[in-house]
């Protein structure tokens, strides 16, 4: 029996108030197991990004429990959360959040520098990661000089370069063509298998379902079932 990296129980989250109240999450039950690639799929607006934000401690749920590596993430102070993320979690936001004024490699180096990895080593590890993602020739480019797909791959490199135990990706292939999307998922799949970490991927992209160990369907703020279970 594999241990659980993420356990959500009855997670609820509303936005707004009174007339404009939105029930974004209505009691989410979810487990992510160590070493698996778990996909979360569902229509736009069903609460996927909200759920990822709670799992990563960016948002606080209104009720219910969300444990990540046995820590009730929202019981941590802001400072503890920052430390926890820095050490254990990598993410790719839907809106990438690359820093526009620095190069691709400098963006990728950020988590390593934050973790006080020596600068030379941080550089070498970042080159390796960018090379794996097919971006060896683009390391010195500014994000604004890169295509959407290249930027997405830089964001993915930044999320995994410090080898976090949990990587969370919000629509990582949405701007990639089929071939690049598959290539990126293949590399991410290898990270999970080889380095025994866990990956949660939110996606709309049916073309990448084959890379998942499990696929959970989400609708209207709830997990409503499982699409496939190959293990
Ligand atoms: N900051 C916010 N304020 C108000 N409503 C929000 C906010 N963020 C998301 N929502 C609403 O919550 C619901 C879930 O949104 P979201 O988690 O972004 O869904 P998804 O990622 O599946 O598209 C949607 O109805 C959305 O409009
Ligand atoms: Mg979203």
pLDDT at 58 over 80: yes
Does any ligand 1 atom lie closer than 6 A to the CB of residue 172? no
Instruction: For residue 68, count CB atoms less than 10 angstroms from its CB and return exposed for 0-12, middle for 13-18, buried for 19 or more.
Output: buried
Instruction: For residue 79, count CB atoms less than 10 angstroms from its CB and return exposed for 0-12, middle for 13-18, buried for 19 or more.
Output: exposed
Q: What is the CATH number of the domain that holds 30?
A: 3.40.50.300
Ligand nearest to the CA of 23: 1
Cα separation, 164 vs 113, whole angstroms? 14
List for the chain the helix, strand, coil content (%; round to 5). Answer: 40, 30, 30
pLDDT digits (tens, 9 = 90+) for 10-49: 999 999 988 899 999 999 999 999 999 999 999 999 999 9
Instruction: Ligand 1, residue 221: give the atom nearest the CA.
Output: 14
The mean pLDDT of 165-187, rounded to a whole number, is: 87
pLDDT digits (tens, 9 = 90+) for 214-226: 999 999 999 999 9
State in Å: Cα 49 to ligand 2 middle. 4
Q: Which of the four pLDDT bands, split at 50, 70 and 90, describes residue 228?
A: low
Instruction: Ligand 1, residue 46: give the atom nearest the CA.
Output: 22
Cα separation, 172 vs 121, whole angstroms? 27
pLDDT at 229 over 60: no
pLDDT at 1 over 60: no
pLDDT digits (tens, 9 = 90+) for 61-74: 999 999 999 999 98
In terms of Cα–Cα distance, which of 37, 29, 51 is closest to 213? 37
Ligand nearest to the CA of 51: 1
Find residue 30's DSSP bridge partners.
Answer: 8
Instruction: For residue 181, count CB atoms less than 10 angstroms from its CB and return exposed for 0-12, middle for 13-18, buried for 19 or more.
Output: buried
Q: Provide the domain count of the chain.
A: 1
Cα separation, 78 vs 92, whole angstroms? 20
- Between residues 80 and 196, the one the model is more confident about: 80
pLDDT at 231: 46
State in Å: Cα 86 to ligand 2 middle. 22
133: containing domain: 4-229
Indicate the angle between helix axes 178-195 and 148-160, nearest 10 degrees. Answer: 0
């Amino acid at each position: 029996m594999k241990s659980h990296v993420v356990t959500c129980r009855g997670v609820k989250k509303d936005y707004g108030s009174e007339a404009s109240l939105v029930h974004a999450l209505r009691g989410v039950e979810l487990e992510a197991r160590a070493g698996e690639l778990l996909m979360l799929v569902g229509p736009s607006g069903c609460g996927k990004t909200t759920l990822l934000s709670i799992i990563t401690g960016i948002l606080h749920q209104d009720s219910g429990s969300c444990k990540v590596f046995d820590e009730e993430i929202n019981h941590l102070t802001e400072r503890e959360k920052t430390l926890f993320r820095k050490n254990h979690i990598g993410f790719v936001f839907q809106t990438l959040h690359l820093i526009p004024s620095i190069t691709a490699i400098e963006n990728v180096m950020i988590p390593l520098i934050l973790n006080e990895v020596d600068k030379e080593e941080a550089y070498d590890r970042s080159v390796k990661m960018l090379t794996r993602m097919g971006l060896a020739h683009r390391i010195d480019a500014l994000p604004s000089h890169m295509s959407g797909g290249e930027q997405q791959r830089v964001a993915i490199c930044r999320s995994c370069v410090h080898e976090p135990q949990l990587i969370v990706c919000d629509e990582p292939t949405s701007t990639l063509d089929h071939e690049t999307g598959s290539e990126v998922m293949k590399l991410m799949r290898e990270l999970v298998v080889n380095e025994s970490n866990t990956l949660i991927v939110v996606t709309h992209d049916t073309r990448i379902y084959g890379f998942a160990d499990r696929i959970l369907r989400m609708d209207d703020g709830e997990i409503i079932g499982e699409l496939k279970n190959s293990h």
